[in-house]
């Protein structure tokens, strides 16, 4: 009898595997992540790349047409991915400025607790100074689900491809690029760019990288098939933010934040999708939603701190109507922007409106296209649309991206859009205040060296984040009638609020709206105990107001001391730095300084030809 029962149980186990038992196994999740790519694929309407593997995958998958990275640069975007929290709320929005993050804000550890084997190969770049040990079972160049000890264990695996990264294009000139696949003469340029040979070459070379990347995707899909796990694995293909074209990566426009997103469900897992597959899906989704979606797909509740919502799986909320986008800096230049989009209309709020979008930075300017555009502007060869990038930013931009995909026609003052602009502006401001956006704290005021995460310290201390946000908002749009209000803010005891008051004064000076500056600027600059970044902001106002030598030499002193923010202050003085040119030339021989920004300043003063921005063999 016992023998018969054993035989019967074996028979039932054998047949249940074929009739549904195996389908109850937790699904695997595979993320194929490429770097620095907008949706440059034929299935998104781009005719310049050849990606047969991805084309085939897309035809059998869900293709998302309104997917965004939230952050416009690698580390802030990836901070949002790994945590499920918008990077500005963690103060991890300052690109490549790692800081402490609460250790519970790393979602793979929750997957491990649920029995998943988690691997990452291998880029992390979470902008965190203290990631806890054990986020991944393996995070290395060789990390792979294939090597997990228990082959029956479900996996979450991430593979990153760097061949499309900016570094491919950051070659300073276009010599030696081969083999060629895309003819630079054929590519279509956005209307905000001048038609320069180096710009065409960069875009064509970028498209070539997309074509080459397709082979990597093919190898990963073949590896999955060979592992025997393809029929139980949900595959995500996406980019970490927008592409490498000038005014793309690092900017909150469509070109900088829209990403390709393809999600493939094998036949037996289609029941988990919660939406039709294959299909084209125009719902609004962002990196903020990826972790909640992953939890939903495997049947887990997402941790309560996560700020996004699932867009796949059996239990989905109503599609979101708005998405939050952001950037903090161009290297040392603090030029925070926020965007609020419904997928068609995009409101952009720029806060440091004394500076242009085109604040030079040493890495991206190694792209020949940036140099070509910069030089054409300096030589007077650019027109109105092409010039905007180099002029002090307007506070508010508003675009209909259906009609204007390259966002060149600012509708913020269009009477037909007045109600929509007003509503979205209120929504954005409320969202930033309600969620404690820490990204408007200047670099030195974010407690970056503290072991306690800034996210936690502002809550423990009851810090008035809302007042900092409101000060930045006023600074961005201030006119002469706001001078008394800015003077009051200069008398505040919070240096972050004082900083924004100084920025408001500076942007009015830059735009010719005022001829006198508040006394609070002079008082703060004269206070040697005041925060250095705040004193630099006041010194910048004083130099712009009347070529104040003491203020100018203070800025140069801070450059010589290698104070991080001082380089941006110096560079953005423009021709006003001219009296310090001889000293700046001497600093080019001093080791340990960031010579790119000193050279940039000397180009602005007319003491260095533009071709010297990257000397042969120099940094």
Q: What is the pTM of this model?
A: 0.95
pLDDT tens digits, one per residue of 208-236? 999 999 999 999 999 999 999 999 999 99
DSSP string over 78-124? HHHHHHSS-HHHHT--STT--B---TT--THHHHHHTT-EEEEES--
pLDDT tens digits, one per residue of 171-188? 999 999 999 999 999 999
The mean pLDDT of the chain is 95
Of the pLDDT bands very low, low, confident and very high (cuts 50, 70, 90), residue 14 is very low
**Exposed/middle/buried for residue 290 (C-beta within 10 Å: 0-12, 13-18, 19+):** buried
Structural tokens at position 485: 């209000």
Of the pLDDT bands very low, low, confident and very high (cuts 50, 70, 90), residue 619 is confident
Dist CA 481 CA 149 (whole Å): 69
pLDDT tens digits, one per residue of 351-377? 999 999 999 999 999 999 999 999 999
Region 389-393 average pLDDT? 98
Bridge partners of 239, per DSSP, are 34
Tell me: pLDDT of 169 over 80.
Answer: yes
Listed in sequence order, the residues at least 6 apart from 616 whose beta carbon sits closer than 8 Å to its beta carbon are none
pLDDT tens digits, one per residue of 461-480? 999 999 999 999 999 999 99
Dist CA 168 CA 160 (whole Å): 15
Region 408-423 average pLDDT? 99
Compute, in degrees rounded to 10, the torsion defined by CA atoms 346, 41, 289, 314: 120
Q: Tell me what pLDDT residue 449 has.
A: 82
Region 582-606 average pLDDT? 98
Listed in sequence order, the residues at least 6 apart from 289 whose beta carbon sits closer than 8 Å to its beta carbon are 308, 309, 310, 311, 320
Tell me: pLDDT of 16 over 70.
Answer: no
Tell me: pLDDT of 18 over 50.
Answer: no
pLDDT tens digits, one per residue of 144-166? 999 999 999 999 999 999 999 99
Of the pLDDT bands very low, low, confident and very high (cuts 50, 70, 90), residue 9 is very low
Lowest mean pLDDT among 19-33, 90-104, 235-249, 582-596: 19-33
- List the domains of the chain with CATH numbers: 27-320 (3.40.720.10), 328-409 (no CATH)
Helix H, strand E, coil C: the string for 545-577 is HHCCHHHHHHHHHHHHCCCHHHHHHHHCCHHHH
Q: Tell me what pLDDT residue 6 has.
A: 36
Of the pLDDT bands very low, low, confident and very high (cuts 50, 70, 90), residue 24 is low
Helix H, strand E, coil C: the string for 452-463 is CCHHHHHHHHCC
Dist CA 296 CA 309 (whole Å): 9
Q: Tell me what pLDDT residue 21 has.
A: 28
Put residue 106 in one of left, alpha, beta given phi > 0 → left and psi -120 to 50 → alpha.
beta
Tell me: pLDDT of 117 over 80.
Answer: yes
Find out whether 565 and 444 touch, Cβ atoms under 8 Å: yes
Q: Tell me what pLDDT residue 616 has.
A: 81
Of the pLDDT bands very low, low, confident and very high (cuts 50, 70, 90), residue 617 is low
Q: Tell me what pLDDT residue 19 has.
A: 30
Tell me: pLDDT of 618 over 80.
Answer: no
Tell me: pLDDT of 493 over 50.
Answer: yes
Tell me: pLDDT of 12 over 50.
Answer: no
pLDDT tens digits, one per residue of 441-464? 999 999 888 899 999 999 999 999
Give the three-class secondary structure for 28.
strand
Dist CA 237 CA 221 (whole Å): 11
Find out whether 504 and 537 touch, Cβ atoms under 8 Å: no
Q: Tell me what pLDDT residue 448 has.
A: 80
Note every long-range contact of 270-276, with CB atoms under 8 Å and residues 24 or more positions apart, other chains counting.
272/27, 272/234, 272/297, 272/312, 272/313, 272/314, 273/62, 273/312, 273/313, 274/312, 274/313, 274/314, 274/315, 274/316, 275/62, 275/312, 276/62
């Amino acid at each position: 009898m016992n023998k018969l029962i054993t035989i019967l149980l074996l028979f039932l186990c054998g047949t249940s595997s074929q009739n549904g038992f195996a389908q109850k196994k937790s699904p695997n999740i595979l993320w194929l992540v490429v770097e620095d790519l907008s949706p440059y694929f034929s299935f998104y309407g781009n005719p310049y790349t050849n990606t047969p593997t991805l084309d085939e995958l897309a035809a059998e998958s869900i293709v998302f047409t309104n997917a965004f990275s939230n952050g416009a640069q690698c580390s802030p975007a990836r901070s949002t991915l790994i945590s499920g929290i918008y990077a500005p709320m963690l103060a991890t929005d300052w690109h490549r400025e790692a800081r402490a993050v609460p250790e519970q804000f790393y979602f793979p550890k929750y997957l491990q607790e649920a029995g998943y084997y988690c691997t990452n190969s291998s880029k992390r770049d979470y902008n965190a100074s203290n990631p806890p040990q054990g986020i991944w079972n393996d995070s290395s160049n060789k990390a792979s689900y294939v090597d997990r000890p228990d082959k029956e264990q479900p996996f979450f695996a991430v593979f990153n491809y760097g061949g499309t990264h900016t570094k491919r294009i950051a070659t300073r000139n276009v010599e030696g690029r081969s083999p060629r696949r895309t003819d630079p003469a054929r590519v279509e340029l956005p209307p905000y760019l001048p038609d320069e040979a180096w710009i065409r070459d960069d875009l064509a070379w970028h498209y070539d990288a997309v074509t080459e990347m397709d082979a990597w995707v093919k190898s990963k899909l073949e590896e999955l098939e060979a592992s025997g796990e393809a029929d139980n694995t949900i595959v995500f293909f996406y980019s970490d933010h927008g592409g490498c074209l000038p005014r793309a990566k690092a900017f909150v426009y469509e070109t900088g934040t829209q990403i390709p997103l393809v999600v493939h469900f094998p036949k037996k897992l289609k029941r988990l999708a919660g939406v039709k597959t294959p299909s084209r899906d125009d719902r609004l989704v962002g990196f903020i939603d990826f972790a909640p979606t992953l939890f939903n797909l495997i049947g887990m509740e997402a941790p309560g701190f996560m700020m996004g919502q699932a867009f796949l799986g059996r239990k989905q909320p109503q599609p979101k109507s708005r998405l939050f986008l952001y950037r903090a800096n161009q290297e040392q230049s603090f030029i925070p922007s926020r965007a609020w989009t419904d997928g068609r209309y995009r409101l952009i709020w720029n806060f440091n409106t004394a500076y242009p979008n085109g604040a030079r930075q040493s890495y991206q300017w190694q792209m020949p296209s940036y140099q070509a555009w910069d030089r054409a502007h300096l030589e007077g060869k650019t027109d109105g649309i092409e010039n905007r990038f180099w002029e002090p930013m307007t506070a508010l931009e508003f675009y209909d991206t259906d009609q204007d995909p390259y966002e060149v026609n600012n509708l913020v003052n269009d009477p037909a859009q007045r109600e929509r602009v007003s509503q979205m502006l209120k929504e954005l401001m409320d969202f930033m205040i309600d969620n404690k956006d820490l990204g408007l704290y200047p670099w030195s005021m974010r407690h970056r060296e503290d072991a306690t995460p800034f996210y936690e310290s502002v809550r423990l201390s009851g810090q008035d984040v809302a007042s900092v946000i409101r000060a930045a908002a006023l600074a961005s749009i201030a006119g002469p009638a706001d001078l008394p209000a800015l003077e009051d803010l200069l008398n505040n005891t919070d240096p972050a609020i004082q900083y924004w008051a100084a920025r408001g004064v500076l942007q009015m000076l830059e735009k010719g709206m005022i001829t006198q500056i508040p006394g609070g600027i002079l008082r703060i600059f004269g206070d040697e105990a005041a925060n250095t970044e705040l004193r630099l902001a006041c010194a910048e106002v004083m130099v712009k107001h009347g070529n104040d030598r003491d203020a100018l030499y203070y800025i140069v002193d801070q450059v010589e001391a290698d104070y991080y923010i001082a380089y941006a202050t110096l560079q953005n003085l423009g021709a006003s730095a001219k009296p310090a040119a001889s000293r700046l030339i001497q600093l080019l021989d001093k080791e340990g300084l960031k010579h790119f920004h000193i050279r940039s300043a000397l180009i602005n003063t007319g003491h260095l030809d533009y071709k010297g921005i990257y000397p042969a063999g120099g940094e």
